[in-house]
Structure 1
Amino acid sequence: MDAYCYRIAGGDGTRIDPAEALADRCDLVWIHLAQIDQETQDWLRGPAGLDDYIVDALTATETRPRCEAFGDGAFLNLRGRSKEEPDSSDLLASVRIWAVKGRVFSVTRKPLIAVGAVKQEVTAGRIRDPGDLITAFATAITTDLDPDVAELGDQLDDCEEQLDANRVFELRRNVSRVRVAAIAYRRFLSPQRSALEKLAALPGDWLGDDDRLHIAAAADRAARMAEELESIRERSALMHETLSDLRAEQIDGRTLIISIVAMVFLPLTFITGLYGMNVAHLPYAQEPWAFDAIMGVCTTIAVGVVLYFVRRHWFTH
């Protein structure tokens, strides 16, 4: 079982063995499990002594951000960036947290970037109770996600500046990538805001007033990112429509040119086809000036058709 634990007493965080953590009586013990398997579930149900419904919530395969109060504790599910390459359908990894007074259990399936930041807070002595630890998780996750959301907006700004009918396919790929990422992030950030707001309002003496303020601030930051992602999604949709219109205009322009060329050569093709027939008695077929005459007639017709299109402004519409 991949696990590590910290004993926190008087603000000092010391790493200890999981077996020692269960018998420890200090300000706070944080037990983090970095994988979900049968051994982890058995340990949580057995030595850890957690109820089945809490173990099921900590080890569920499919999760979404939420917060639920159970007895004297609270279960919290958050989503953040992982160190591993994300799946195209699931860009954020989950951390499941069970917190009661003096104990915090956290479980991840993938290595979460925010866990490293929380470890630093613990070893630096800035974590003193479960509220501080949960606040550190919420703050680390939102702080890590904020630059990614801003980068999506910058990428979309670049696409808008590069708007060009000759780069439609490239820009559409970039806009689609930004839009998919924005939708995937927003899918979790909106409920994450609600989960943090619910946590900040939960009763319990293990959450201090300062913790509630910090959690509310993290919820507000998640709300701002969710709004930014919604704006990016709407802008991406508008950009996609604009690129489709540019592509349609480009095709229309090319079709117009082809049509004009066809209209110019249509009467010429008729004349040359007529005199190209291998039959007798064609008018003036035996005259020495017949070829020059036919070329003159074709040139006159071509110039006349072109002048007609110019007067009708076909070349500019």
Structure 2
Amino acid sequence: MHDGFIYSLVLNGPKAGSSLSPEELDTWEPKNGLVWVHLRYRHKKARHWVLSSGLTKVETDALLAQDTRPRAVIAGNGVLLALRGINLNPDSAPEDMVAIRIYADNERIISTCDRELVSVKDVAELITEGAGPSTTGDFIIALCDRLTNRKIEFIDTLEEHLSELEEQVVSGNVKDLRTDIAELRRKTVALRRYLGPQKEAYVKLLAEPITLLNGPERLKLREITDKLIRSIEDLDALRDRANVTQEELVSQQSEQLNKRLYFLSLVSAIFLPLGFLTGLLGVNIGGIPGADNTWAFASFCAILIGLVAIQMALFYRFKWL
């Protein structure tokens, strides 16, 4: 497709699985089958098509909104959905989730996005192969299921990465570890921001008496909601583990720093009296004892060595070493 039309597919009827041109779409009748139109909402022609599609202002504003938060709104005989999916586009951060806006009723499905969403692509491929959803409720279930599964897969990769970081903390290999843990915590926060509202959107779909979902489809959506709830719980546990790992890292670094400071303190304690004596005998004034004796320097060094030995014995006795 072109001019902002990404997909224009027929879900059921004689032409099920076929793609419609913009011209065919303009003359399409609901009796010919359920049609799904997926648009790039920033494109001028796509925006014009949405505005002239016969939807209310609330519905068109929702489809063309730039900033969205996951939600579900009942709109007449249809439903408005704003959902988020993992960003799997090249050179993109997965936690920078891609938004998709959907208006669906029993006659047509209109969805918009700005960036490619792999879950949408999967559903489109199934439809063209003749194995995709054939009803509006089935379409919603298929899309929600794939969005949730990819979230679970991404959370699993975060858990594996955290396990590696925990092993590095235990083994003492802490180079650049603080930055890695902070980045992982940032990802969990960014992901958690949308998972909660998306769960609430699924719960609202289940609670509302809409005709788009039949009994089996409601059961599937309840199962998807349960999977999303479990993924949120896993994400919360992952965040807590990351906090504990970071605290352990800080504790190890503090312990290492304290050991170094303690060692420096002992060195200072040893050399402080030595420095005092050498400084006292190093002044350039008359009367320095032993200035005219050849054995004075050796005797003074022996005194310093003996003083160090006495200090070391005291340190061991008080268990400072």
Shared fold (TM-score, shorter chain, > 0.5): yes
Match of 1:121 among 126, 130, 135: 126
What residue identity is the alignment partner of 1:2? G
Match of 1:5 among 4, 8, 20: 8
Deviation of the 1:126 alpha carbon:
3.0
Deviation of the 1:120 alpha carbon:
2.2
Equivalent-residue separation in structure 1 for 2:11 and 2:67 (angstroms): 31
Aligned residues: 313
What residue identity is the alignment partner of 1:271? L
Paired residue for 2:35? 29
Match of 1:82 among 64, 87, 109: 87
Change (3 A) 1:303 1:166: farther
Runs of 5+ in structure 2 lacking a partner? none
What residue identity is the alignment partner of 1:192? Q
TM-score in terms of structure 2 length: 0.92
1:73 aligns with 2:78: yes
1:41 aligns with 2:43: no
Equivalent-residue separation in structure 2 for 1:255 and 1:293 (angstroms): 33
Paired residue for 2:235? 229
Paired residue for 1:244? 250
Equivalent-residue separation in structure 2 for 1:129 and 1:27 (angstroms): 10
Change (3 A) 1:21 1:215: farther
Equivalent-residue separation in structure 2 for 1:60 and 1:117 (angstroms): 24
What residue identity is the alignment partner of 1:5? S
Paired residue for 2:24? 20
Q: Any runs of at least 4 consecutive aligned residues in structure 1 with deviations exceeding 4 A, and if so which?
A: none
| Contact 1:67–1:76 (CA under 8 A) maintained in structure 2 | yes
1:254 aligns with 2:260: yes
Runs of 5+ in structure 1 lacking a partner? none
Which deviates more from structure 2 when the two are superposed, residues 251-260 or residues 34-43? 34-43
1:284 aligns with 2:283: no
Instruction: Encode CA deviations 1:78-120: one digit per residue, 9 max, x unaligned.
Output: 10023434359x6111111100112100101111111111112
Equivalent-residue separation in structure 2 for 1:314 and 1:27 (angstroms): 85
Percent of paired sites with the same residue: 30
Q: How does 1:1-317 map to 2 (within 5 A)?
A: 1-3=3-5, 4-10=7-13, 12-22=16-26, 23-25=28-30, 26-46=32-52, 48-84=53-89, 85-86=91-92, 91-123=96-128, 124-164=130-170, 166-315=172-321
| Contact 2:69–2:82 (CA under 8 A) maintained in structure 1 | yes
Question: Which SS does the other structure have where 2:11 is aligned?
Answer: strand
Equivalent-residue separation in structure 1 for 2:261 and 2:171 (angstroms): 15
| Contact 1:74–1:99 (CA under 8 A) maintained in structure 2 | yes
Instruction: Encode CA deviations 1:168-191: one digit per residue, 9 max, x unaligned.
Output: 342212211111111111111111
What residue identity is the alignment partner of 1:107? T
Deviation of the 1:40 alpha carbon:
2.6
Deviation of the 1:10 alpha carbon:
4.2
| Contact 2:84–2:194 (CA under 8 A) maintained in structure 1 | yes
Deviation of the 1:38 alpha carbon:
4.1
- Alignment RMSD (CA, Å): 1.8
Question: Which SS does the other structure have where 2:23 is aligned?
Answer: helix
